[in-house]
């Protein structure tokens, strides 16, 4: 997908104002770049995916600090690189720090109240077929889909249950819905 700088700036400005569709577009558009960058560094699909999720979580949390005179992709890659370095440091020192409650409360990604095209596709499926399709997702995506749509937990409850920051939960759900919608479309 080719996009010019002017369109990209528009999406970034919309994301800064809390537009959920703009967040979704930026996630979908830049996911392959960040994921492939991390895949080369980590040589592990799981690690690359986890770092990419954390990258978008942090980027969306800090999007208001992004300066438009820089390249958005470079900003994302820098965040990604720093997350990877931090993870390596944690592994080397075996000290794991958790997000404080205060930091957790500052998480402000907009709650996704508007059904996305992916949501509509998912709802159209009958339950047995949907469950079969969900089983094709990686376990971490199956888990967030199950907690959100079958147990009807809030983002905050999911965050507590899987012991991850709320932003990570939101990015995982966005990603899971997109992957699930692609699986469902492939059967049509």
pLDDT digits (tens, 9 = 90+) for 28-73: 999 999 999 999 999 988 889 989 999 998 999 899 999 888 899 9
Domain coverage including residue 142: 101-186
CATH no. for residue 49? 1.10.1740.10
Whether the CB-CB separation of 73 and 33 falls below 8 Å is answered with yes
Q: Could you count the other beta carbons within 10 Å of the beta carbon of residue 137?
A: 17
Residues 163 and 106 in one domain: yes
How confident is the model at residue 86, as a pLDDT? 87
On the question of pLDDT at 101 being above 70, the answer is no
CA atoms lying within 13 Å on the CB side of residue 176: 24
Residues 9 and 42 in one domain: yes
Reading phi first (left if > 0) and then psi (alpha if -120 to 50, else beta), residue 102 is in alpha
Last residue of a domain, one of 44, 64, 93: 93
Residues 110 and 76 in one domain: no
Domain count within the chain: 2
Sign of CA dihedral 169, 28, 107, 50: positive
Residues 10 and 37 in one domain: yes
Percentage of residues in the chain with pLDDT exceeding 70? 80
74: helix, coil or strand?
Answer: helix
How confident is the model at residue 139, as a pLDDT? 92
Residues 120 and 49 in one domain: no
pLDDT digits (tens, 9 = 90+) for 118-135: 766 666 656 778 888 889
pLDDT digits (tens, 9 = 90+) for 166-185: 888 889 988 898 888 888 88
CATH no. for residue 180? 1.10.10.10
How confident is the model at residue 55, as a pLDDT? 93
């Amino acid at each position: 997908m080719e996009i010019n700088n002017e369109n990209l700036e528009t999406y970034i400005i919309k994301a800064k104002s809390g537009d959920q569709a703009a967040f979704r577009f930026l996630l979908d558009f830049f996911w392959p770049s960040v994921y492939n960058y991390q895949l080369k560094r980590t040589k592990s699909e799981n690690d690359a995916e986890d770092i990419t999720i954390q990258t978008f979580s942090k980027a969306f949390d800090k999007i208001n600090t992004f300066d438009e005179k820089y390249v958005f992709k470079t900003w994302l890659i820098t965040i990604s690189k720093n997350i990877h370095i931090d993870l390596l440091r944690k592994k080397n020192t075996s000290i794991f720090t958790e997000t404080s409650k205060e930091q957790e409360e500052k998480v402000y990604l907009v709650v996704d109240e508007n059904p996305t095209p992916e949501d509509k596709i998912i709802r159209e499926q009958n339950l047995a077929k949907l469950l079969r399709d969900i089983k094709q997702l990686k376990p971490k995506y199956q888990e967030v889909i199950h907690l959100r749509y079958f147990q009807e937990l809030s983002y905050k409850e999911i965050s507590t249950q899987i012991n991850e920051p709320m932003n990570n939960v939101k990015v995982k759900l966005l990603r899971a819905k997109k992957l699930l919608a692609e699986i469902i479309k492939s059967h049509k």
